[in-house]
Amino acid sequence: MSVPASETSHRIGGGFLDPRMLGKSLPEAMRKLDPRAMVKNPVMFVVEIGSALTTWQAIAHPSVFAWVITVWLWLTVVFANLAEAVAEGRGKAQAATLRKAKTTTAARKLASWSPGNAGPETEVPGTDLQPGDFVVIEAGQVIPGDGDVVEGVASVDESAITGESAPVIRESGGDRSAVTGGTRALSDRIVVRITAKPGETFIDRMIGLVEGANRQKTPNELALSVLLASLTIVFLLAVVTLQPMATWAGAAQSLVVMIALLVALIPTTIGALLSAIGIAGMDRLVQRNVLAMSGRAVEAAGDINTLLLDKTGTITLGNRQASEFLPVRGVDASALADAAQLSSLADETPEGRSIVVLAKSAYGLRERHSGELGGAEFVPFTAQTRMSGVNLADGHQVRKGAGSAVRKWVRDSGGHPTDEVGSLVDAISAAGGTPLVVAEHVPGRPARTLGVIHLKDVVKDGIRERFAELRAMGIRTVMITGDNPLTAAAIAAEAGVDDFLAEATPEDKMARILAEQEGGKLVAMTGDGTNDAPALAQADVGVAMNTGTSAAKEAGNMVD
Amino acid sequence: MSDTWAGALQVAALIFLLAVSYRPLGDYLAHILTTRKHLRAEKALYKTIGVDPEADQTWGVYLRSVFAISAVGVLLLYLILRVQHHLMMALGMPKMQADLAYNTAASFVTNTNWQNYYGENTLGYLAQMIGLTVQNFVSAAVGIAVVATLIRGFTRNRTDRLGNFWVDLTRVLIRLMLPFSIVFALVLIAGGVTQSLGDHMTVVHTVNGDQSLYTAGTGSQEAIKLLGTNGGGVFDANSAHPFENPDGFTNLIEIYLLLVIGFALPRTFGRMVGSHKQGYTIVAVMAVIWLGSLAFSTFFEMHHHGLDLATGHAALEGKETRFGIPASALFMTGTTLTSTGAVNSTHDSYSPLGGGAAMVDIMLGEIAPGGTGSGLYGMLVLAIVTVFIAGLMVGRTPEYLGKKIRPAEMKYAALYILTTPAIVLIFAGIAMALPGETARMTNSGPHGFSEVLYAFTSMGNNNGSAFAGLGGDTTWFNTAGALAMLFGRFLPMVWVLALAGSLARQRPVPESSGTLKTASPLFAGMLLGTVLLVVGLTYFPALSLGPLAEGLH
């Protein structure tokens, strides 16, 4: 998800420190001087103890040197805390933005729900909702908690969490059923089954992450801490054992000098900034709308060798769209476009709408409203007929659909489908598209095929360049799709992925990930469907789309 | 021919010999450590001691085996030293004092060979041969077995089996140490090293009357003393004694022997991990440190503004005129950068900075090329630390030879680099705080402190060379020294074997374009920097009170 420029303004950006931020963070930095908090950072804890000891020495035996060292040491400790406090402060500012979205709302809870059979409604506070509860949301209302849509379709404004202003469609069933608490339904009425416990919703977790409250140390951070701690111990020993040696040499040093030497030796710079760096890293991710469930995943993401992508929604726009009208010989292209548009006027599928759009953009055909065609009878698509169309009042019939079904209809209506249609259909299939044959039957004449609509899976703009960048980084990309191998190969070539897995079942995806991992590779997987969940869980980094199902989001360790 | 030219030629000849040995010896060692075939003699031995040579051990079992043979070694040697007056060829020597016997047993089993006694008037021949020499062989082979296990940690995947200690030990002893020692013992004897089981030899001396000289089986002990980077001489004067090291030829052979296995092991490593370049990178770092240290100490010995004007500004006090200064510095550099600790000159008499260089050599942790096995595993641990630091800069999880360096690996590497400095500094610090023990120094001021610091640096790092000058045969020094040697030897082994176990459990990471290239001059430079930085910062405060204070005065 990219963030539109206009939406980034309310987010807290990176960049230089500004003095106000420092001023605001100072009290917090002082609070962090509490030894119980400092002990989490062994290096700085040692410095703090050193500071306390030099302070005591400076008071007991005042000297300019002792006071200079004392002040300098305290500055070191406070600066380390300040760095952390500033990083946290940024996170808190972000969290405040998120909290606005999390205003407590009244939820309209249903006592029970089964398909088409809703129980009585009660008002409860949104925070009381438990997983398994059903709630009703109507246009204009805020969704009270995370869950899956079980009934209805609605457009939802998710800008509060994604920063994207365009509303998204959330519907029951399928891969776009998850809704997030704090977002707002803009239209229609949906019933949602709550899936998150109060306090553990997506927004809650996001707030926790940016505030650094439940930030876990990443493996590399842990390993670095181990190294820093061991160096600190070595230097501590070097300084402690120095005293008897120096005493023997007749050059016993004061405690202040010893502490100054120790602080100069131990790795204070990295030690001081380590946690601030960690917080800033998480912050960056959140700014890019990625929610990392664990630090481990963030680091693993840097080591990925193979990236498996679910085709729909990541490589392609997700809907097949009409890209071309291919008329048979003797038929004018605009006649075909006209017939195609007629047959699709009542077709509310994305494919149907794209035919109307293409007819308008390519042939300038004005979109007619169903009302203009008095007495027209629309024939909906069914799995049995495998075609849809319209019967106009004057007896003019138009059909579009799968090749074999439409040809059968032409023959039944007294026409003779030409062989040319067959070759057009094959060519489109070979190119990875879906062919829709269009035919018409004008009263008094034999039915005839007009041509073929090329429905194409549209590859996202710029995705090819993105894959080239990944390749340069040493990451292989593999497209996963349920399409047949022919279609998959064509899309893979267009998008520029390195490899593809066609007609993939959830088992195939798992097997592929396991095979890659067997060779020692780190595998990332993106997906949004419930059937992706096992693969997302198995992958070293599972990136679930925020638009995806709750199961997918639960299985992944990053949500985009 | 001047000393300088002779020295330069000796260095050139030595480098030539080591370069020629690198490939065949390294490959042969790799073969020994990886082949599936057993010699008939080995099979018979396995049967006798009841070992199944095909059964690989986990790192824990491997470690217990190392502990077992070492514990038995300490007890056995202690016993021999305590009852040596009842043994054959005792030459009328009395039994050794308990604390000294304990110190000596720990010293030889840990490959340190710190000697708080005078060999020629303390030990009978049998105690030398079945006591000390046996441990010289075993302790050297144990080091190679442990590094073989660490290398297997890199080469094996998703397993907890790292090899069989008894097989590794037997093979290194039978196929490497024994034949090589026999050949080089003969070479040394041909060069004039004594070899005798007879009683003291009486020499008619012109001025001071007759002398009764201890001869011993010196040649047979000398070869393994150096080949196994042990360093415990038959005589107190060690390789400065004409019976151990008669002339320039034997001197060269001895320096060659103490370096050859250490410098060939990177080849073994490269062969076992399937990339000779990895071996070259490691050996290059070792060679640079060795040459740098050699140049440094030779320079300070040749340009000493000390007392001995007759030698033309060179510091010849405490060195054998047979060898001259360059060959003494060459021996010193080799012996302190390996865990040998044999000496052909008195390090106490070096110029402050020259002697300081010897101390820094040991403080580096015996890694250039280090003791047999222990040098390479020390260097590999530092390579892991280097990979980790460099890897974080690249932004990927650091990996070395296809294995990730995760918190577990880092923990063991950090413990490794922590252990030896801790031992050295704690013991040296305590010694300086005890008034009775500081009185044992023969020098006052910074030089006296250098003696104590050197002693514990040497024992903690299992080097065994002495700065001399320190009267170390007291109950406290014997006991503390034995502890320093035992901890300094076996704690790092625990971390190394645990590290090997952790690495072997991983599944390998394929190399990609984002992987840090560890077979490159750049990496060698980073590794060198890490070595110097870790050591420099740890010991700098202490060094500044000893050699630096004296040398810059």
* Most confidently modeled range among A107-111, B211-215, B410-414: B410-414
Only one residue has tokens 């009764």, namely B212
**pLDDT, greater one: A375 or A129:** A129
Coil, strand or helix at B316 = coil
Which of B158, B412, B432 would best serve as a mutation to test chain A binding (most A beta carbons within 10 A)?
B432
Residues making up chain A, counted from first to last? 560
CA–CA gap between residue A518 and residue A515 (Å, rounded): 5
Which of A226, A262, A513 would best serve as a mutation to test chain B binding (most B beta carbons within 10 A)?
A226
CA–CA gap between residue A351 and residue A355 (Å, rounded): 6
Question: Which pLDDT value is given to residue A165?
Answer: 60
**pLDDT, greater one: B170 or A344:** B170
- Positions of A annotated as catalytic residues are 310
A261 contacts B397? CB cut-off 8 A: no
Q: Per-residue b/e over B197-229, b at no fewer than 16 CB within 10 Å?
A: eeeeeeeeeeeeeeeeebbbbbbbbbbbbbbbb
Which of A221, A235, A247, A248 would best serve as a mutation to test chain B binding (most B beta carbons within 10 A)?
A248
Whether residue B312 is predicted with pLDDT greater than 60 in this model: the reply is no
Q: Which of B409, B422, B512 faces A305 most closely, judged by CB atoms?
A: B512
Residue B405 half-sphere exposure, CB side, CA atoms within 13 Å?
Answer: 31
Whether residue A3 is predicted with pLDDT greater than 90 in this model: the reply is no
Split at pLDDT 50, 70, 90, the class of A104 is low
DSSP letter, residue B172: I
Q: Averaged over B227-236, what is the pLDDT?
A: 89
Q: Which of A261, A302, A522 faces B541 most closely, judged by CB atoms?
A: A261
Task: Tell me the per-residue pLDDT of B428-465, one tens digit each, with 9 for 90 and over.
Answer: 889 888 877 766 777 777 778 888 888 999 999 999 88
Sign of torsion over alpha carbons B436, B437, B443, B448 = negative
Average pLDDT over chain B reads: 89
CA–CA gap between residue A397 and residue A415 (Å, rounded): 13
B388 contacts A299? CB cut-off 8 A: no
CA–CA gap between residue B16 and residue B536 (Å, rounded): 31
Burial of B307 (0-12, 13-18, 19+ CB in 10 A): exposed
Whether residue B311 is predicted with pLDDT greater than 70 in this model: the reply is no
B514 reaches A (C-beta below 8 A):
yes
A241 contacts B538? CB cut-off 8 A: no
Tell me which chain B residues have a C-beta less than 8 angstroms from the C-beta of A237.
Answer: 421-422, 425-426
| Min Cα separation B546/chain A (Å) | 9
Sign of torsion over alpha carbons B132, B138, B140, B142 = negative
Please report which helix (H) or strand (E) contains residue A244, including its range. helix A242-248
Average pLDDT over chain A reads: 81
Question: Which pLDDT value is given to residue A388?
Answer: 83
Q: Which of B397, B445, B542 faces A238 most closely, judged by CB atoms?
A: B542
The encoded tokens of residue A48 equal 């703090």
**Paired residues of A397 in beta bridges:** A391, A441
| Min Cα separation B313/chain A (Å) | 28
Q: Which of A223, A251, A305 faces B388 most closely, judged by CB atoms?
A: A223
Nearest CA in chain A to B543: A242
A470 reaches B (C-beta below 8 A):
no
Residue A377 CA: distances (Å) to CA of A306, A348, A396, A436, B88: 52, 15, 11, 20, 120
Whether residue A391 is predicted with pLDDT greater than 50 in this model: the reply is yes
Please report which helix (H) or strand (E) contains residue B337, including its range. helix B324-337
Residue type, A465: E
Split at pLDDT 50, 70, 90, the class of B269 is very high
Task: Tell me the per-residue pLDDT of A199-208, one tens digit each, with 9 for 90 and over.
Answer: 777 777 777 7
DSSP string computed for A404-469: HHHHHHHHHTT----HHHHHHHHHHHHTT-EEEEEEEE-TTS--EEEEEEEEEEEEPTTHHHHHHH
DSSP letter, residue A5: G
Tell me which chain B residues have a C-beta less than 8 angstroms from the C-beta of A245.
Answer: 428-429, 432, 449, 453, 542, 545
Question: Which pLDDT value is given to residue B162?
Answer: 94
B406 contacts A227? CB cut-off 8 A: no
CB B125 within 8 A of CB B89: yes
Whether residue A9 is predicted with pLDDT greater than 50 in this model: the reply is no
Nearest CA in chain A to B446: A249
Coil, strand or helix at A48 = helix
DSSP letter, residue A434: E
Whether residue A417 is predicted with pLDDT greater than 80 in this model: the reply is no
Residue type, A108: R
Tell me which chain B residues have a C-beta less than 8 angstroms from the C-beta of A233.
Answer: 418, 422
A302 reaches B (C-beta below 8 A):
yes
Nearest CA in chain B to A296: B397
The encoded tokens of residue B280 equal 């070259």
Query: Of A82-96, A544-558, B111-125, B136-150, where does mean pLDDT reach its minimum?
Result: A544-558
Residue A176 CA: distances (Å) to CA of A135, A183, A286, A549, B531: 18, 15, 22, 6, 56
Only one residue has tokens 């709408």, namely A353
Whether residue B539 is predicted with pLDDT greater than 90 in this model: the reply is no
DSSP letter, residue B470: B
Phi then psi for residue B391, to 5 deg, are -65, -40
A520 contacts B402? CB cut-off 8 A: yes
* Most confidently modeled range among A340-354, A373-387, B188-202: B188-202
Residue B40 CA: distances (Å) to CA of A370, B30, B33, B35, B174: 96, 20, 17, 14, 11
B397 reaches A (C-beta below 8 A):
yes
Tell me which chain A residues have a C-beta less than 8 angstroms from the C-beta of B438.
Answer: 248
**How many angstroms separate the most distant Cα atoms in chain B?**
77
**Paired residues of A480 in beta bridges:** A310, A501
**Paired residues of A118 in beta bridges:** A113
Question: Which pLDDT value is given to residue B494?
Answer: 97
- Nearest Cα to Cα of residue A475 among B518, B507, B510, B389: B510
Tell me which chain A residues have a C-beta less than 8 angstroms from the C-beta of B541.
Answer: 238-239, 242, 261, 265
B533 reaches A (C-beta below 8 A):
no
A303 reaches B (C-beta below 8 A):
yes
Count of Cβ atoms closer than 10 Å to residue A97 Cβ = 16
Give the predicted TM-score (pTM) of the model. Answer: 0.81
* Most confidently modeled range among A203-207, A297-301, B396-400, B460-464: B460-464
Question: Which pLDDT value is given to residue B301?
Answer: 82
A520 contacts B510? CB cut-off 8 A: yes
Split at pLDDT 50, 70, 90, the class of B553 is low
Query: Of A27-31, A139-143, A312-316, B154-158, where does mean pLDDT reach its minimum?
Result: A312-316
Split at pLDDT 50, 70, 90, the class of A369 is low
Please report which helix (H) or strand (E) contains residue B181, including its range. helix B178-190
Task: Tell me the per-residue pLDDT of A181-194, one tens digit each, with 9 for 90 and over.
Answer: 878 887 778 888 88
CB A384 within 8 A of CB A405: no
Q: Which of B438, B510, B541 faces A242 most closely, judged by CB atoms?
A: B541
Task: Tell me the per-residue pLDDT of B6-43, one tens digit each, with 9 for 90 and over.
Answer: 888 999 999 999 999 999 999 999 999 999 999 999 99
Q: Which of A223, A245, A305 faces B545 most closely, judged by CB atoms?
A: A245
Whether residue A8 is predicted with pLDDT greater than 80 in this model: the reply is no
Tell me which chain B residues have a C-beta less than 8 angstroms from the C-beta of A259.
Answer: none
Peptide bond preceding A417 in cis form (omega within 30 of 0): no
Tell me which chain A residues have a C-beta less than 8 angstroms from the C-beta of B406.
Answer: 219, 223
Tell me which chain A residues have a C-beta less than 8 angstroms from the C-beta of B512.
Answer: 305, 474
CB A156 within 8 A of CB A184: yes
Task: Tell me the per-residue pLDDT of A37-79, one tens digit each, with 9 for 90 and over.
Answer: 888 888 999 999 999 999 999 999 999 999 999 999 999 999 9
Query: Of B81-85, B205-209, B361-365, where does mean pLDDT reach its minimum?
Result: B205-209
Chain B, residues 404-433, CB within 8 A of chain A, namely: 405-407, 409-411, 413-415, 417-418, 421-422, 425-426, 428-430, 432-433
The encoded tokens of residue B443 equal 């020098």
Tell me which chain A residues have a C-beta less than 8 angstroms from the C-beta of B392.
Answer: 220, 224
A236 reaches B (C-beta below 8 A):
no
Task: Tell me the per-residue pLDDT of A468-516, one tens digit each, with 9 for 90 and over.
Answer: 988 888 888 999 887 778 778 888 888 888 999 888 777 888 888 888 8
The encoded tokens of residue B92 equal 């009328």
Question: Which pLDDT value is given to residue A377?
Answer: 81
Chain A, residues 384-443, CB within 8 A of chain B, namely: none
Only one residue has tokens 């043979």, namely B69
ipTM of the shown complex: 0.88
Q: Which of B406, B508, B542 faces A219 most closely, judged by CB atoms?
A: B406
B406 contacts A243? CB cut-off 8 A: no
A246 reaches B (C-beta below 8 A):
yes
Tell me which chain B residues have a C-beta less than 8 angstroms from the C-beta of A471.
Answer: none
Whether residue B201 is predicted with pLDDT greater than 80 in this model: the reply is no
**pLDDT, greater one: A164 or A71:** A71
CB B134 within 8 A of CB B128: no
Question: Which pLDDT value is given to residue B346?
Answer: 84
Whether residue A283 is predicted with pLDDT greater than 90 in this model: the reply is no
Whether residue B308 is predicted with pLDDT greater than 50 in this model: the reply is no
Share of chain B above pLDDT 70, in %: 95
B390 reaches A (C-beta below 8 A):
no
Task: Tell me the per-residue pLDDT of B357-394, one tens digit each, with 9 for 90 and over.
Answer: 888 899 988 898 999 999 999 999 999 999 998 887 77
Question: Which pLDDT value is given to residue A504?
Answer: 79
Split at pLDDT 50, 70, 90, the class of A11 is very low
Sign of torsion over alpha carbons A479, A483, A489, A492 = negative
A239 reaches B (C-beta below 8 A):
yes
Sign of torsion over alpha carbons B165, B169, B170, B175 = positive
Whether residue B139 is predicted with pLDDT greater than 60 in this model: the reply is yes
Count of Cβ atoms closer than 10 Å to residue B439 Cβ = 10
Whether residue A213 is predicted with pLDDT greater than 60 in this model: the reply is no
B393 reaches A (C-beta below 8 A):
no
Residue ranges per structural domain of chain B: 399-551
B392 contacts A249? CB cut-off 8 A: no
CB A183 within 8 A of CB A214: no
Nearest CA in chain A to B429: A241
CA–CA gap between residue A407 and residue A382 (Å, rounded): 16
Share of chain A above pLDDT 90, in %: 10
Whether residue B309 is predicted with pLDDT greater than 50 in this model: the reply is no
CA–CA gap between residue B116 and residue B98 (Å, rounded): 13
